[in-house]
Structure 1
C-alpha cells in the first residue's frame, strides 16, 4: 500500500471517548466491585433506584440506555444480594416494580459519597471553563438536555 493512511485512531472520537471512559472509571470500578462485588450495570441500576426511587427495569433501561437483558441480569444479582425487592405491578402483571432495600439504600449512599469525591478528583485538574465545555460537549453527544 503506497498511500499514507491519514486516519488517526487516537483522535477518532468514539475511540477517544471509550478510552477516556474506561480510564476515568477504573478507580471507581475497583470500589464498587471490591466493596459490593458489583459489575458496572449493577451499580448503574442501584444508582437509578437510589436517585429516582421505585422504577421498572424498562424505565431504568430507557433512562440509562442499557439493553434489557443486561438490566435483567443486574436486577437478578441485586435481588440475590438483597439490595432490591421486586413486586408485581397490580395493574400490569407483566411488570415488576423495583425498590431498594435498606441494604441497597446503604450501599447506594456509600457509593454515592465515593462517586462524589471521585468526580471532584477527576475534575480537579480542569479549569471551570474546561469543565463547562466538557459537560456541554458530552451532553450534546449523548443528546441530553443540560440540568437546570
Structure 2
C-alpha cells in the first residue's frame, strides 16, 4: 500500500507558466527533459529516496527579508530555488518556478516546502519516522494477564 502512495499519478505536465526571463527559464525545457526528470524521480517508490531527489534539485536558504505580515507566525523563513536537470547532461540544470517544479514531479507544494524547511533547520536529510513499534505502558497489565491466562478484573 505504501508503494502505491509514491507511484506517479500520471504523465508529467509541460509548464504552462511561460517564464523565460533572467530568473526562470521554464520555456527552455523540452518535453524530453521533463519526461526524463519525472522518470528519474519515480524510478524508486521509497519516500526517503524521493525526498533526497527533491533536496538535491532544490537550493534552500534562509529568507533575507522575512516580510512580516499581520501575524508574526506568518513570516517567510525559507527561500527556495528549484532546478530541473537537462537530459543528457550531468551538471547542467535550469532554474524553474515553483509551479513548474510541482507540475513536473506531481507532488504537493507542501511536501517540498516542509522538506526544505526541515533541511534548512537541521542541515540533514529529513527521515520518515512513520511506522515501527509503539510500546504503550497502558496495556502492560492486560498483556501480562493474557500471558498468565487469567482474566483481568475491571476496576470501576
The structure with the greater share of residues assigned to strand is 2
TM (norm. structure 1) is 0.28
TM (norm. structure 2) is 0.27
The structure with the greater share of residues assigned to helix is 1
Which one has more relative contact order, counting CA pairs under 8 Å at least 6 apart?
A: 2
